[in-house]
Homo-oligomer: A and B are copies of this chain.
Amino acid sequence: MSIAIMCSGGDCSGMNPAIKTFVEYAFNHNIQPYFIYDGLEGLIDGEIKEATHNDVAGINHIGGTIIRTSRSKRFYEKEFREQAYKNLEKKGIKKIIVLGGDGSFTALDIFSREFDISFVGIPSTIDNDIAGTDYCLGVDTSLNVIRHALDEIRDTSSSFKRAFVVETMGRNCGYLALISALTSGAEVCIIPELVYDLDSIKQRLEKEIKEGRSYILAIVAEGCNNTQDIADFFEDELKIESRIQVLGHIQRGGNPSVHDRLMAYEFVTYAFKELLKDELLNHVIAYKDAKFTFIDVHTLNQHKHEIKPELLDLASILSK
């Protein structure tokens, strides 16, 4: 039997440990593992190769993905999906593990309904915004990279009388910003999930400045689209010099944390076991209440990921 692994959409740390586990698990079960390079684009173009032990030696501590990833428009067109299927057929591959997000899972779901292909999706995105799972691969590493940057920014910001407005990734989801604000002792947190109140923030901080506070750290989620406004607010309303730091792509990774390596290990092992069974599968693994389970793509698309209310409660103090 043959089985393939691929990445799709944005990369994250933990993909390489997942790829390594995949290859080792396959060989331990006498299955030939395949790599689909360059995501859905590579699937269409037939960039499919037999994986070897050598390919995955020493990749555990490397961020990103050695088999690369892509975003694909072509895959939305049937003719390219047909082409993709033929590529898989040639290699005798009927089962795929996909590391990606909602969009990628939906694409694979369509594909698996059209053709005789089983797949299991492993939620892999630093945004942690996939419905039905408490955890997405890559989040822990990303949070620790942000923490490291915030520790450095705090040192420099406390050297001046200054406000620092730090923008984290997160298009529609403030998870990274929220956890980072809570765990780094930020004074302000602005995320899409929470209404913020600048008047009240102003009052709170004016009081603290009067009592001796000399610098302010504000964490703003990219998706709020108001990083500049918040910086202007500090300058105009609080009369404190302010600087913006967009963290950008460093958030995607680096050396995967132990948690992401272990989750990679467990996600892949769980996915593999299910794929080995005979039935057709087009499911996504969810990690829910410390247990692994499956959700179908349809259900996943009908729901929105929601941050735990307790965490929102804690963070709401920093939004007003």
Which chain A residues have a beta carbon within 8 Å of chain B's beta carbons? 7, 11, 13, 15, 17, 20, 38, 58, 60-65, 68-70, 134, 140, 143-147, 149, 151-161, 164, 179-180, 182-185, 214, 243-246, 248-250, 252-255, 257-259, 261-262, 265-266, 269, 289-291, 310, 314
Residue contact B245 to A245, C-beta cutoff 8 Å? no
- Complex Cα distance, B153 from A254, in Å, reads 8
- In the complex where A159-B11, A253-B152, A289-B290 touch, is A183 in contact with B62 (Cβ < 8 A)? no
Q: In the complex the two chains form, what is the Cα distance from A11 to B157 in whole Å? A: 9
A212 to chain B, nearest CB (A): 9
Copies in the assembly, this chain: 4
What's the least CB distance linking A136 to chain B, in Å? 15
A3 to chain B, nearest CB (A): 19
Task: Tell me the bound Cα distance from A156 to B11 in angstroms.
Answer: 7
Q: How far is the CA of A314 from the CA of B314 in the complex (A)?
A: 37
Are the CB atoms of A17 and B183 closer together than 8 Å? yes
A146 to B258 Cα, complex, angstroms: 9
Tell me whether B258 and A156 are in contact (CB under 8 A).
no
Residues of the B chain whose Cβ atoms lie less than 8 Å from the Cβ of A146: 258
- 10 chain-A/chain-B pairs, Cβ below 8 angstroms: A58-B185, A64-B156, A65-B159, A70-B161, A144-B144, A151-B254, A245-B248, A257-B257, A265-B314, A289-B290
Give the contacting residue for A144; candidates B7, B65, B258; CB below 8 A: B258
CA distance A252 to B147 in the complex (A): 16
Known: A183-B17, A259-B140. A160 touches B246 (CB 8 A): no
Are B156's CB and A249's CB within 8 A?
yes
CA distance A185 to B261 in the complex (A): 10
With a cutoff of 8 Å between Cβ atoms, the chain B residues found around residue A257 in the complex are 144, 147, 257
- Indicate if the CB atoms of A179 and B245 lie closer than 8 Å: no
What are the residues of chain B within 8 A of A153 when measuring CB–CB? 249-250
Interchain nearest-CB distance for A57 vs B (Å): 8
Contact of A183 among B60, B185, B245 (CB under 8 A): B60
